[in-house]
Structure 1
Amino acid sequence: MVSLNKNIMRTILIASYIMLIALLTYGLSAVFGYLNTGADRSKMLHTEISKVEQYLPKIVWQPLQNEGRPMDNENLNALQSDYLDAWYVKQIAYKTNKTAGIKDYYTKSARENLFNFIEHNKKNNITIESTTLNHNPNLEFFSEDGQLAVITDKHVIEYKRVFKGDSIIHETKETSTYKIVFLLEDGFWRIRHMVKEQAADLNSDFKNIVTDNLKIKGINYYPQATPWNMFGEQFSTDIIAKDFKIIKDVGLNSIRIFVQYDDFGAARVNPIKLNRLIQTLDVAKAYNLKVVLTLFDFYGDYSVMNWTLNQRHAEQIIEAVKNHVAILAYDVKNEPNLDFESRGKENVIAWLSNMIDLIKKVDNQHPVTIGWSNTQSATILLDKVDFVSFHYYEDLNLLNDAVISLKKHIKNKPLVMQEFGLSSYKGFWKPFGSTEEDQGNYHKLAQSIIAKNDLQFMSWTLYDFTKIPKEVVGRLPWRKRVQGHFGFINQKGETKPAFQYISNE
């Protein structure tokens, strides 16, 4: 028994020794591998920065004619990446009053001023939401040892919103010039000095554009089988062509279609979806129909930190379509005033204003509007839109007075009733709803008011739909059923009584 116990103890000791040696060997090899390969830079960062997902200001380098050593593309790309990261971590720091990530992109002397500024704001309950929208850097100097670089960044467009607690106390948009000195430390291009040389208030000076003297008589359009998914896998130019022929034959001259932000790839626009959009414009051209292109459908995040992503999205869309003859106008956003309560009215309006600036910078030939959900909001940003658009789903007997009131405010700009209609659903989920006959009478009255007030119009919508995505009206069946019966053509493809009033011809 004693011999057996000794053997057991000996076995345990040997096994323990082998395990200890194995652990020590693994630890030493890991340390050796780390020292030979160098630290993973991404693991060194105090913040995880991915500009592709979070921050994409427009940046255009001037031709490289710097003093000192020539700059190669690899170093230039690294300098640009760290420069934009430095802006981004500073914006995060000013918004949160936390200093995480600052030391990765600013030298010790430079970050001291930033820390003091953040501490001051923190004590005074001040936060700053900010972003830069455009950069135009010029490399002035690159040292022979590759450790120092100097750039001048001209016409940097900055937007800032300063809060005291929850209240906005200052809002500004300006263009500035910066002189920046960088030092290469531990693989980072860190900012050593950053001096704002000049700044000026930036007031947009865009001319108002007319809609080519076209009086809009149109309709909001989705294919019947794929509402709110027009550019998906079932995309068909044959179906679109058939529908556009119907629209043209009844005397309409324009359509309104929608680009969904996430569906089209957000900041990196999906080329397949973009090609389908252009094919749609080609079909519209073939039937001599003009297109109001509504951007940012199903998008509701107006935070300043996301503006650069939103602007890159809009820029790609507009660059692709701006020379197409079918484009009539851009609608920045569908019913943005519905987000006033949940997102903040000031946030939404600031986003819209700056998006209009971006759109007109990319395309200064086509007019811009906003699809407000009612007449009460329609005069917001009146000085920036080229024509005023409103939606009307209220009592038609009040429409005439609402239009007269609007015209007193907008004076010299066109007025478009961009959405209106009545559901013909009356059934189990809404027993006191409207019939197809009621819908016909509605559109007959609507067209008489339109003619009386010389309104331009785009009705909702060509078809009744069987499938309504939950993102549109939620999951409740009574809301889905009502939404599915606004069309002039029913689910069987038959025209409804309202069809004879689809136009005022």
Structure 2
Amino acid sequence: MVSINKNIMRTILIASYIMLVALIISGVSALFSYLNTGADRSKMLHTEIKKVEQYLPTINWEPLQNEGRPMDNENLNALQNDYLDAWYVKQIAYKTNKTAGIKDYYTDSARENLFAFIDLNKAQDITIEATTLKHNPTLEFFSEDGQMAVITDRNVIEYKRVFKANKLVLETTETSTYQMVFLLEDGFWRIRHLVKEEADIYNKQPKQIAVDSLNIKGINYYPQANPWDMFGNAFSTDTIAKDFKIIKDAGLNSVRLFVQYEDFGKAAIDYKKVDKLKQTLDMAAANNLKVVLTLFDFYGDYNVMSWTLNQRHAEGIVNAVKDHKALLAWDIKNEPNLDFESRGKDNVIAWLDNMIDLVKEIDTVHPVTIGWSNTESATILKDKVDFISFHYYEDLEQLDEAITTMKKEIPNKPLVLQEFGMSSYSGLWKPFGSSDEDQANYHKKIQEQIAANKLQFMSWTLYDFTSVPNDVVGRLPWRKNTQKHFGFIDKNGTKKPAFKYITH
């Protein structure tokens, strides 16, 4: 018995010794690994948001002809990344009046001015929301030891809003020139010296695109089986081609399609989805249909700090399809005025204004519009868009008066009734709804008004749907069931009485 106890004790001691040695070895190994690992820049950037996901202004380097040592691409990329990070953390600091992150991208002497400015703003209850949209840097000098660089950044486009006590007191877009000296410290290119040499008001007015030949008689389109997910896994060229033939044979000449921001990859464009979009445009062209392409569907973040990401998204989509023969026009955003209350009217309009400029800069051929949800908003940015688009789901008795008002306020732009329709749903969740006959009478009446007012139009929509995502109208069954029955063709593929009035 004593012998057995000794053996057990010996086993426990040996096992404990082995575990202790293993722990010591593990600890030493972890320490050695830590000491031989460089700093993680994503953790050192105290904003806790990586630039690659949050800040992507256009940057166009002048050809490298600098004095001193030639700069290779690796060093240039590192310099560019740290330079843009420096802008980003400064803008975060000006918005929050906090200094986190500044020390990673500015040397001691450069920080002093920034800290003093932030302290002054904090004392006066001033905050600044800003972003840069375009940079044009020139490398002037790169030292032989690779530790110093001098850059001149010309025609930097900066947008900013200044608030005092949370009230907007200044909104401006400037074009400026900066000269900077960078020092390489601890693996970071930090700004040692920064001078703003020139600044002018940026007031570029993109040209208006002639729309005399615009003659839209169209329809908003989603496939019946996969509405609001047209370019997903259920994408079918056969289905779309068949539907486009139905639309063309009905006497229509155009369709309105939707590009959803997240679905198409946000700033990192999903080119598989773009390829499906191109195939859809090909099918439209094959059926002699033109396409109004709506950007930024299901997007509602108008934060200034997100603008560069939004612009890279729009840039990718517009460049990809701007030369397609089926493309008729760009619709910047579907019903952005619905975001006025929750996101701020000024924020939404400023975002739209700048997005129009970007799209028109990339595509100088196709006209631009905005799909307002009502007639009251139609005058907003009327001088920036090429034609006016509005939606109307209200009492038809008020439509003629609303059109008359718009024509007085916007006498020189075509008006497009871009969405209209009536649901034929009447059932458990809406017992006093409308019938197929009511829907037909509605379309007969509104087509008479369209003809009398010489409007262009795009109705909602070709099909009744069997399912509607919650993101569209929410979860309430009376809203979802109503939304399912706006089509001219029912869920069984049968043309409803309203199909007779799909066009005038």
The equivalent residue for 1:166 is 166
Q: Deviations over 1:152-203 (max 9, x none)?
A: 1111111101111221111111111111110000110000111111111111
The equivalent residue for 1:410 is 410
C-alpha distance in 2, partners of 1:400/1:489? 28
More deviation in 5-14 or 147-156? 5-14
The equivalent residue for 2:65 is 65
The equivalent residue for 2:325 is 325
C-alpha distance in 1, partners of 2:51/2:282? 34
List aligned pairs for 1:306-325, cutoff 5 A: 306-325=306-325
SS at match of 2:366: coil
C-alpha distance in 2, partners of 1:281/1:435? 34
Contact 1:49 1:85 in 2 (8 A): no
The equivalent residue for 1:252 is 252
The equivalent residue for 2:78 is 78
Q: Deviations over 1:312-364 (max 9, x none)?
A: 00000000111111111100000000000000101100100000011011111
The equivalent residue for 2:36 is 36
The equivalent residue for 2:481 is 481
> What is the Cα deviation at residue 34 of structure 1?
2.8
Matched, 1:377 2:377: yes
C-alpha distance in 1, partners of 2:100/2:418? 47
Kindly tell me the number of residue pairs found equivalent between the two proteins: 504
Letter in 1 for 2:206: F
The equivalent residue for 1:187 is 187
Letter in 2 for 1:454: K
C-alpha distance in 2, partners of 1:356/1:497? 40
Letter in 1 for 2:170: H
The equivalent residue for 1:112 is 112
Letter in 1 for 2:393: Y
Contact 2:42 2:50 in 1 (8 A): no
C-alpha distance in 2, partners of 1:213/1:306? 36
The equivalent residue for 1:279 is 279
C-alpha distance in 2, partners of 1:43/1:249? 59
> What is the Cα deviation at residue 393 of structure 1?
0.3
> What is the Cα deviation at residue 46 of structure 1?
2.8
> What is the Cα deviation at residue 251 of structure 1?
1.2
C-alpha distance in 1, partners of 2:321/2:74? 33
SS at match of 1:272: helix
Q: 1:182 to 1:490 in 2, by over 3 A?
A: same
> What is the Cα deviation at residue 260 of structure 1?
0.3
More deviation in 23-32 or 108-117? 23-32
Contact 1:211 1:328 in 2 (8 A): no
C-alpha distance in 1, partners of 2:49/2:450? 52
List aligned pairs for 1:14-413, cutoff 5 A: 23-211=23-211, 213-413=213-413
Contact 1:464 1:491 in 2 (8 A): yes
The percentage of counterpart residues that share the same residue type is: 74
More deviation in 126-135 or 313-322? 126-135
SS at match of 1:89: helix
TM-score w.r.t. the length of structure 1 is: 0.95
> What is the Cα deviation at residue 211 of structure 1?
2.9
TM-score w.r.t. the length of structure 2 is: 0.96
Contact 1:211 1:329 in 2 (8 A): no
Q: 1:408 to 1:144 in 2, by over 3 A?
A: same
Q: 1:501 to 1:8 in 2, by over 3 A?
A: closer
> What is the Cα deviation at residue 41 of structure 1?
4.1
Q: 1:398 to 1:181 in 2, by over 3 A?
A: same
Q: Deviations over 1:20-50 (max 9, x none)?
A: 6665554444333333344444444433342
Letter in 1 for 2:405: S
C-alpha distance in 1, partners of 2:254/2:39? 59
SS at match of 2:136: strand
> What is the Cα deviation at residue 373 of structure 1?
0.3
Q: 1:8 to 1:347 in 2, by over 3 A?
A: same
Q: Extract unaligned runs of 5+ from structure 1.
A: none
Q: 1:166 to 1:40 in 2, by over 3 A?
A: closer
SS at match of 1:213: coil
Q: 1:444 to 1:124 in 2, by over 3 A?
A: same
Contact 2:44 2:101 in 1 (8 A): no
> What is the Cα deviation at residue 428 of structure 1?
1.0
C-alpha distance in 1, partners of 2:345/2:55? 23
Letter in 1 for 2:177: T
C-alpha distance in 1, partners of 2:52/2:431? 50
C-alpha distance in 1, partners of 2:145/2:426? 79
SS at match of 2:267: coil
Q: Deviations over 1:445-474 (max 9, x none)?
A: 101111111011111111111110110001
SS at match of 1:103: helix
SS at match of 1:240: helix
Q: Deviations over 1:366-423 (max 9, x none)?
A: 1100000000011001111110110000000110000000000101111111000100
> What is the Cα deviation at residue 52 of structure 1?
2.5
Letter in 2 for 1:483: Q
> What is the Cα deviation at residue 213 of structure 1?
0.5
SS at match of 1:210: coil
SS at match of 1:153: strand
Letter in 1 for 2:478: W
SS at match of 1:462: coil
Q: 1:33 to 1:497 in 2, by over 3 A?
A: closer
Q: 1:45 to 1:401 in 2, by over 3 A?
A: closer
